[in-house]
């Protein structure tokens, strides 16, 4: 089982607060019994959370006051699927978290014995900016915040890249490449913001010239395009071209035979290989295949754009389609030892910031399949 200390701390806190789900309670119990690191973490947190200091803290909690302080900071509602706990229990959990983090120094000061994680010696895949001259710039390394190239100064952070041009007429192009497990944001020279999902790439010019603003996408990205009525913004994919003046939309090209354009705000015109064309209104998405052309339907932004919050929701989705998400988000290959299981439907969610073991436990409980993770390969039978 993958050991993620922050995640197991959260599970232990939920267990103590009485807010843990049945599946996660089973996962935690199994981890405590079979992983010495989780067992040690459990013992340490039990000791801390049962201390006199912790009890005094809990007794002094004013839930109404805490809620009045927190609620103005909530800028967007959580998806309905995420609202599984009453407010009082969330506040209790928050209180437990406060005590837990107050005791953070105690946890860090306790040496963990006999713990060897081989992957610490493996270099994680990097987000790269691949320049036209063959230079590759590692954007995952944020120790150096700025990088200078002959025509621009690049500023890189943990979640995004922006740049200032030294030459506004440069014709230099570059490709931003996002590996599995990660996502990233870039601000283009015109102010357009692009959020890229895992295993995606964006080819773009450092400066837009001519009559259109053209970029090339593989994978998935959300675009918030800066308005410029005299210079349309065009997203080129292997199947479609999406043309806008200034708007917000998502383009998904993960499936080889399908391109999905989902419009949040404004309007877009999208055209296919055989000169088919459709105009979208907000709240609708265009699904394009070479065989059928365009089909439009309404969509739920909470579900479609959940990937930007590191969540993937699915409803009656076949397991072989979900396996693509596991590869992108966890770098886990899926093998169906029983091919018939690939077409079984499943509903639920995958959260990128939780171990893949959580998803495995869910499909074993809900889909009635046997699933075993071994050497980075998930066997489903």
17-38 pLDDT per residue, tens: 556 666 667 777 777 877 777 7
The dihedral built from the CA positions of residue 321, 322, 328 and 331, taken in this order, carries a sign that is negative
**51 neighbors 117 (Cβ within 8 angstroms):** no
More confident residue, 186 or 86: 186
Q: What is the pLDDT of residue 50?
A: 58
Q: Could you give all domains of the chain from N- to C-terminal order, each with its CATH number?
A: 5-120 (no CATH), 128-303 (2.60.120.1440), 310-380 (3.55.50.30)
> What share of the chain has pLDDT > 70, as a percent?
73
The pLDDT value given to residue 47: 65
Q: Which is higher by pLDDT, 364 or 179?
A: 179
Residue-averaged pLDDT of the chain:
79
Over residues 161-177, the pLDDT tens digits come to: 999 998 878 899 999 99
- How would you write 130-188 as a 3-class SS string? EECCCCEEECCCCCCCEEEECCEEEEECCCEEEEEECCCCCCCEEEEEECCCCCEEEEC
* pLDDT average, residue stretch 204-229: 95
What's the confidence (pLDDT) of residue 256?
85
Angle between helices 36-49 and 87-102 (to 10 degrees): 100
Of residues 158 and 246, more confidence is placed in: 246
Structure-token pair, residue 245:
């003046």
Task: Tell me the average pLDDT across 111-129.
Answer: 54
Structure token digits, residue 186: 């870039």
Q: In this structure, what DSSP letter does residue 342 have? A: G
Run of H or E including 160:
strand 160-165
Identify which has the larger pLDDT, 272 or 113.
272
Residue 91 in this model has a pLDDT that exceeds 90: no
pLDDT at 19: 61
Structure confidence at residue 49 (pLDDT): 59
- In sequence order, the β-bridge partners of residue 288 are 259, 294
Per-residue pLDDT band for 157 (boundaries 50, 70, 90) equals confident
What the block records as the tokens of 242 is: 């999406």
């Amino acid at each position: 089982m993958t050991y993620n200390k922050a995640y197991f701390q959260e599970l232990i806190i939920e267990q103590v607060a009485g807010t843990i789900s049945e599946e996660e309670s089973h996962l935690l119990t199994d981890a405590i019994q079979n992983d010495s690191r989780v067992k040690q973490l459990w013992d340490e947190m039990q000791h801390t959370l049962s201390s006199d200091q912790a009890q005094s803290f809990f007794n002094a909690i004013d839930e109404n006051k805490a809620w009045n302080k927190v609620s103005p900071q909530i800028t967007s509602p959580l998806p309905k699927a995420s609202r599984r706990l009453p407010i009082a229990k969330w506040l209790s959990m928050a209180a437990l978290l406060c005590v837990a983090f107050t005791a953070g120094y105690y946890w860090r000061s306790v040496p963990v014995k006999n713990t060897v994680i081989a992957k610490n010696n493996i270099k994680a895949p990097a987000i790269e900016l691949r320049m036209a001259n063959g230079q590759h710039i590692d954007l995952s390394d944020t120790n150096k915040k700025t990088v200078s190239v002959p025509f621009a100064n690049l500023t890189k952070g943990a979640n995004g890249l922006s740049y200032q041009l030294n030459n506004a007429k440069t014709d230099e192009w570059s490709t931003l490449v996002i590996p599995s497990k990660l996502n990233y944001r870039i601000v283009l020279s015109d102010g357009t913001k692009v959020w890229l999902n895992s295993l995606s790439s964006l080819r773009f010019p450092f400066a837009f010239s001519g009559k259109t603003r053209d970029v090339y996408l593989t994978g998935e990205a959300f675009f918030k395009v800066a308005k410029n009525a005299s210079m349309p913004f065009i997203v080129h994919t292997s199947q479609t071209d999406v043309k806008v003046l200034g708007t917000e939309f998502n383009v998904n090209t993960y499936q080889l035979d399908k391109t999905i354009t989902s419009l949040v705000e404004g309007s877009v015109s999208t055209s296919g290989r055989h000169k088919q064309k459709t105009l979208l209104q907000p709240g609708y998405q265009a699904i394009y295949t070479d065989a059928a052309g365009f089909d439009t339907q309404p969509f739920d932004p909470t579900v479609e754009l959940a990937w930007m919050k590191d969540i993937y929701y699915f409803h009656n989705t076949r397991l072989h389609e979900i396996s693509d998400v596991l590869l992108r988000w966890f770098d886990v290959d899926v093998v169906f030892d029983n091919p018939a299981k690939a077409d079984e439907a499943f509903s639920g969610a995958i959260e990128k910031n939780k171990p893949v073991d959580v998803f495995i436990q869910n499909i074993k409980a809900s889909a009635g399949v046997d699933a075993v993770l071994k050497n980075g390969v998930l066997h489903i039978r």
